[in-house]
Every structure is written in structure tokens, then in C-alpha cells.
């Protein structure tokens, strides 16, 4: 998987909290920085890519890690 600059542990959080916390966690990152999100909310599979499209961030992909998923987001426009 791609290198990342920050991690958000959103395991146990339900929609919309993983995306809301991702938005806040992306703020201090430089444009082009990569955020890794750990989440087990089934809605995150739809919510994270949708958030990226709406907010102008790059969705780098999702990997299944058994009990949770790992999402990678590249920060877009400020």
C-alpha cells in the first residue's frame, strides 16, 4: 500500500463520524498529503469515496484488513 502521512482510527465509529473526523484530520496536512483511515463502518465503503469526490480529494483505494478496512485519501485543494 501507499505511504501515508497521518492515520485516523475510526474503528467503532458509525456514519457520519468517520468522514467528519477525516475532514478534520486532513486540515493540517499539506496538499498532496495522504491520510490512512481505519474503519469498520459498513457505510464507509460508500461514504469515503463520496466524501473525496465532493471535497476534491483523491481516493487512492480501500483494502480489506479482516475486521476493518483501510482507506487512503490524498489531500486535494485547500
pLDDT tens sequence across 49-78: 999 999 999 999 999 999 999 999 999 975
pLDDT tens sequence across 7-54: 999 999 999 999 999 999 999 999 999 999 999 999 999 999 999 999
Catalytic residue among 6, 11, 15, 55: 15
List the domain range (segments joined by +) for residue 53. Answer: 6-74
**pLDDT for position 73:** 97
DSSP state string for 1-64: ----SEEEE-TT--TTHHHHHHHHHHTTSPTT-EEEEEE--TTHHHHHHHHHHHHT-EEEEEEE
Q: Would residue 25 count as lying in a domain?
A: yes
CATH code, domain carrying 47: 3.30.110.40
Q: Would residue 28 count as lying in a domain?
A: yes
How many angstroms separate the Cα of 42 from the Cα of each of 52, 63, 78?
Answer: 17, 13, 28
Annotation marks residue 15 as catalytic: yes
Q: Would residue 35 count as lying in a domain?
A: yes
Please state the length of the chain.
78
Q: Would residue 12 count as lying in a domain?
A: yes
Q: Would residue 1 count as lying in a domain?
A: no
**pLDDT for position 59:** 97
**pLDDT for position 28:** 97
Q: Into how many domains does the chain fold?
A: 1
Amino acid at each position: 500500500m501507499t505511504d501515508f502521512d497521518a492515520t485516523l482510527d475510526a474503528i467503532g465509529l458509525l456514519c457520519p463520524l468517520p468522514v467528519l473526523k477525516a475532514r478534520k484530520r486532513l486540515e493540517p496536512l499539506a496538499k498532496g498529503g495522504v491520510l490512512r483511515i481505519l474503519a469498520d463502518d459498513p457505510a464507509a465503503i460508500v461514504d469515503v469515496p463520496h466524501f473525496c469526490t465532493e471535497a476534491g480529494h483523491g481516493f487512492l483505494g480501500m483494502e480489506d484488513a479482516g475486521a476493518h478496512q483501510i482507506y487512503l485519501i490524498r489531500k486535494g485543494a485547500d
